[in-house]
C-alpha cells in the first residue's frame, strides 16, 4: 500500500527535474515596460525566479511599440541597441534557454533600457542542484553597481509561488 504514495512522489520529482517550463518574464503579461521603481524592476523578479535548461522565456508586449533584444553583457550595461545578438518584435516572443550562464535582454524602444527596461536571466548548469538549497547566481552578480536589498511583498509572493513544486515534493515524501 505504501508503494503508491512514494511512486507518486517520485513521479512529481521526475516532473520537476524534466518538465520544461514557459516562464513569463516579469511574471505577468504587462511586465515588459519601464519599471515604476527599483523594487519593481525585472531583475528583482529574475533574482527570485529559477531558470533551467530547456525552459522558455516568454514576453508579451505591443510589437508596434517595443521589442526584445538579446545582447552581450557590454551592450546590456551600456544599453547599446545597435547590434543585438537577436531581435524580436512580434509582441509574443519566446526564447528557449538552451545553454547555461547569463542571458542579457534589453528593450529596443528608444530610451527604455536606460530607464531600466532590461533583465538578466541566469540559467544554472545541470551540475548545480536544481532543488534550490545552494544559493544560485543572481542577476546582481552580473550587474555593475550593487542593487539595494529587496523590499515589498511582490517579489516574496513570486518566490513562494516558485517554491510550490518543491513544497509539493516535500509533502509527498513526508506522506509516503
Ligand atoms: C554599440 O555597439 C556597436 C556594435 O557592437 C558599436 O560599433 C558602437 O560603437 C556601440 N556604441 C556605443 C555608444 O558604445
Q: Look at ligand 1, atom 1, and give the residue with the nearest C-alpha.
A: 80
**Is 162 within 8 Å of 130 (Cβ atoms)?**
no
| Beta carbon of 80 within 6 Å of any ligand 1 atom | yes
Residue of 74, 75, 79, 80 with the most ligand 1 atoms within 8 Å of its CB, for mutation: 80
**Is 55 within 8 Å of 20 (Cβ atoms)?**
yes
Domain boundaries, the chain: 19-148
CB-hemisphere CA count at 13 Å for 24? 11
**Is 34 within 8 Å of 40 (Cβ atoms)?**
no
Q: Which three cell numbers stand for residue 33?
A: 515596460
pLDDT in tens, the chain (176 residues): 555 567 766 666 665 666 789 999 999 998 999 999 988 899 999 999 999 999 999 999 999 999 999 999 999 999 999 999 999 999 999 999 999 999 999 999 999 999 999 999 999 876 654 444 445 566 667 665 544 444 444 444 444 444 555 555 555 566 66
| Beta carbon of 72 within 6 Å of any ligand 1 atom | no
| Matching residue, cell 513526508 | 174
Angle at 81 (CA atoms; ends 78, 82), nearest 5 degrees: 115
| Beta carbon of 83 within 6 Å of any ligand 1 atom | yes
Query: What is the CATH number assigned to the segment(s) 19-148?
Result: 2.60.40.420
| Helix or strand run (H / E) with residue 4 | helix 3-18
Amino acid at each position: 500500500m505504501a508503494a503508491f504514495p512514494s511512486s507518486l512522489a517520485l513521479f512529481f520529482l521526475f516532473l520537476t527535474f524534466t518538465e520544461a517550463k514557459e516562464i513569463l518574464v516579469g511574471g505577468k503579461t504587462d511586465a515588459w515596460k519601464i519599471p515604476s521603481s527599483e523594487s519593481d524592476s525585472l531583475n528583482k523578479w529574475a533574482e527570485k525566479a529559477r531558470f533551467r535548461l530547456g525552459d522558455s522565456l516568454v514576453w508579451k508586449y505591443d510589437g508596434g511599440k517595443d521589442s526584445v533584444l538579446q545582447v552581450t553583457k557590454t551592450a546590456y550595461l551600456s544599453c547599446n541597441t545597435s547590434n543585438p545578438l537577436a531581435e524580436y518584435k512580434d509582441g509574443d516572443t519566446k526564447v528557449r534557454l538552451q545553454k547555461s550562464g547569463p542571458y542579457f535582454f534589453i528593450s529596443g524602444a528608444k530610451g527604455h533600457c536606460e530607464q531600466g527596461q532590461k533583465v538578466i536571466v541566469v540559467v544554472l548548469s545541470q551540475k548545480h542542484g536544481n532543488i534550490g538549497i545552494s544559493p544560485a547566481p543572481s542577476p546582481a552578480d552580473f550587474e555593475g553597481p550593487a542593487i539595494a536589498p529587496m523590499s515589498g511583498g511582490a517579489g516574496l509572493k513570486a518566490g513562494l509561488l516558485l517554491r510550490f513544486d518543491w513544497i509539493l515534493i516535500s509533502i509527498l515524501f513526508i506522506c509516503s
